[in-house]
Amino acid sequence: MEPLNTAKPLITINDIGRKYVIGAEVIHALKSVSLTINKGEFVALMGPSGSGKSTLMNILGCLDTPTKGEYILNGINVSHMSDNELAEVRNSEIGFVFQTFNLLPRSTALDNVALPLIYAGINKIKRTERATNALKNVGLGNRVDHKPNELSGGQRQRVAVARALINDPSIILADEPTGNLDTKTSIEIMGLIEDIHAKGNTIILVTHEEDIALHAHRIVRMRDGLIEKDYKNTEIQTVSRRVEEV
């Protein structure tokens, strides 16, 4: 007898479409996309320019809403929520890691990491404690008072990772997280992301780099607003080295 599949869907999207009207022209960025991602998966989302990859990423991250179809995130239908409702979902359910880090330049690493906790209504003492621990967990315990311009690219991305994890989100959405990093630092950041996944977090990695995508356990390829291919990755690359400070 085959073992039962106990994985629970974290994301379910059914017949998602997204169109934009520009003057007299209608652009179908997504035509009809259906996808299920289970808790604990590590998925790479890939596709050339114009494939719909960025639009799907925005919908998965609750940064945009679909024109048609249904999006269920962790049991919540977010398909047609208002901007304010989507903001609440983003802050509680999704941790973002961006290519350009998106850190506040005049704020310390500690304050950048603690920022989502302000929106969550956490008091300052608890914010400081949680943000300090989050920075320690990514190897930056001795950089809490440093501002972004006092950190290397890899350190800035680790601050962004700590910020993404601070609210214990359902999903970590990493958009080209190594795009602005050199090869050595990219390896270290992917090692950190693998460690996060190994602890049970669900990772959605958006990338155009084949070698980065190979760290994921599943690859979804987009083309012309549709899923072209969705398959398990049998060539998983793992980073065995311990992530050390850049």
Q: CA-to-CA distance for 156 and 109, rounded, in angstroms?
A: 8
Please give the pLDDT value at position 243.
Answer: 42
**3-state DSSP assignment of residue 154:** helix
Q: CA-to-CA distance for 110 and 132, rounded, in angstroms?
A: 6
Helix pair 109-119, 153-165: axis angle to 10 deg: 20
Span 50-97, pLDDT tens digits: 899 989 999 999 999 999 999 999 999 999 899 999 998 998 899 999
Which residues in the chain come in under a pLDDT of 70?
A: 1-7, 239-246
User: Quick one: 39-66+81-232 is in which CATH superfamily?
Assistant: P-loop containing nucleotide triphosphate hydrolases (3.40.50.300)
User: In the chain, what percentage of residues exceed pLDDT 90?
Assistant: 77
